[in-house]
């Protein structure tokens, strides 16, 4: 049967609805581009990882665990406290100037629901009711049916900021009292980048209770632009499965912001057995393995995959401090100076002995 948003339920939320109206979808001008997206879901009540996985139509629990940096041994019934933020991973695709999930989560309307309630309470304000209405071609926002499936257009983007730095777009709900500078410090982003991504001309334009686009720095990688998972963007403190689940890659700032990949030990979604992950070369290294020598280190790095194979490449890295050359030169100069002084003293002593005789 048809139902709408009751006036009593709508009045207390008047300000929040107004704020939501002012929020736009994330800008994404790279038509057809795809990437990994993240949003921060603030659970309104105590729940479990399993419930969140179902709500957002996440195929594998390990994807949810990786996005939150949780151990793979974490059980699906792990409790999530009320108001705890859980990062939701999903593939994003750009079109018509904005980003949307490739496979949007689907919510089935239950008796008593309204679009505003679904947007604010069920999905913690990550979308507005207007966005749900438009995405599902609903003529009257006050009329929805019990059992009606609604696709949820989670915000995302694949646009770059320029300068060559790679990052993951993260949909973050702005809490009351937040500032652009505070968010920049919290997420390791620049205030200028936050302002530009969200079309804000002044930090004072930041509004509470709306989702904004935060650029989370991602690790650099050797993934080829012809790879099926390009660009492979993994944010700091998270890990992701790729190459049809055969490879697990993690990003940690402590590793010089370089993506670290290794065989996942997970069953492949494409092959009966995962292809070889060995690098060509005399080192005879497998994916993730490293060999070291004086002032250098070589790692077998992940370079992407195709329908037939997993690509690897040898990645050499200098391990000598940048100041070593200067130190060596100073040491050589010092040694040469002392040698000259000693030779000069020795000659003077010989001359003295000659005159004495």
* Distance linking the first and last C-alpha atoms of the chain: 126
DSSP secondary structure letters along 301-314:
EEEEE-SS-EEEEE
Instruction: Give the start-to-end residue ranges of the domains of the chain.
Output: 1-217, 238-318
C-alpha 144/C-alpha 5 separation (Å) is 9
| CA angle 64–69–71, rounded 5-degree value | 85
Q: Print pLDDT tens along the chain (357 aa).
A: 344 433 333 333 433 333 333 446 799 998 999 999 999 999 999 999 999 999 999 999 999 999 999 999 999 999 999 999 999 999 999 999 999 999 999 999 999 999 999 999 999 999 999 999 999 999 999 999 999 999 999 999 999 887 778 899 999 999 999 999 999 999 999 999 999 999 999 999 999 999 999 999 999 999 999 999 998 999 999 999 999 999 999 999 999 999 999 999 999 999 999 999 999 986 789 999 999 888 889 999 999 999 999 999 999 988 777 654 444 444 443 343 444 444 444 445 544 444 444
Q: What is the pLDDT of residue 284?
A: 87
The b/e string for 215-225 (b: 16+ C-beta within 10 A; e otherwise) is: bbbbbebbbee
Distance (Å, whole) CA 206 – CA 215:
16
What is the reported pLDDT for 323? 57
332, 337, 338, 341: CA torsion to nearest 10: 160
- Strand-pairing partners, residue 35, are 92
pLDDT at 281: 83
Q: Which two tokens stand for residue 303?
A: 């370079």
Q: What is the pLDDT of residue 20?
A: 37
Name the helix (H) or strand (E) containing 195: helix 191-197
The pLDDT score that the predictor gives to residue 330 is 41
Res 333: pLDDT = 38
Give pLDDT, residue 68: 98
- Residues 178 and 3: their CA atoms lie apart, in Å, by 36
Provide the whole-model pTM. 0.81
Q: Please state whether beta strands 34-42 and 167-173 pair in parallel, antiparallel, or not at all (unpaired).
A: parallel
pLDDT at 322: 63
Strand partners, 170: 38, 214
């Amino acid at each position: 049967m048809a139902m709408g948003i009751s006036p009593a339920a709508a009045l207390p939320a008047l300000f929040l609805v107004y704020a939501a109206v002012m929020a736009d979808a994330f800008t994404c001008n790279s038509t057809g581009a795809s990437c990994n997206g993240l949003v921060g879901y603030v659970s309104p009540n105590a729940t479990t990882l399993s419930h969140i996985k179902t709500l957002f139509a996440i195929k594998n629990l390990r994807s949810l665990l990786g996005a939150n940096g949780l151990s793979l041994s974490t059980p699906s019934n792990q409790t999530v406290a009320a108001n705890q933020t859980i990062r939701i991973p999903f593939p994003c695709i750009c079109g018509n100037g904005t980003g949307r999930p490739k496979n949007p989560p689907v919510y089935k309307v239950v008796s008593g629901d309204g679009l505003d309630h679904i947007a604010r309470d069920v999905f913690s304000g990550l979308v507005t009711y207007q966005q749900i209405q438009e995405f599902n071609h609903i003529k009257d926002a006050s009329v929805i049916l019990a059992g009606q499936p609604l696709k949820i257009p989670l915000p995302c983007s694949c646009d770059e900021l320029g300068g060559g730095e790679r990052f993951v777009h993260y949909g973050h709900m702005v809490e009351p009292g937040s500032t652009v500078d505070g968010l920049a410090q919290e997420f390791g982003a620049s205030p200028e980048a936050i302002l530009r991504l969200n079309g804000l001309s002044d930090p004072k334009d930041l509004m509470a209770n709306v989702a904004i686009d935060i650029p989370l720095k991602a690790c650099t990688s050797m993934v080829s632009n012809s790879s099926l998972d390009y660009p492979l963007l993994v944010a700091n403190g998270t890990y992701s499965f790729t190459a049809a689940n055969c490879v697990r890659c993690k990003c940690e700032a402590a590793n010089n912001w370089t993506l670290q990949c290794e065989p996942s030990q997970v069953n492949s979604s494409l092959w009966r057995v995962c292809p070889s992950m060995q690098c060509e070369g005399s080192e005879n290294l497998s994916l993730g393995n490293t060999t070291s020598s004086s002032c250098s280190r070589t790692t077998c790095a992940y370079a992407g995959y195709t329908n037939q194979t997993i690509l690897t490449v040898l990645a050499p890295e200098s391990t000598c401090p940048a100041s070593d050359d200067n130190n060596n030169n100073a040491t050589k100069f010092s040694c040469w100076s002392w040698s000259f002084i000693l030779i000069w003293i020795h000659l003077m002593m010989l001359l003295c002995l000659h005159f004495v005789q």
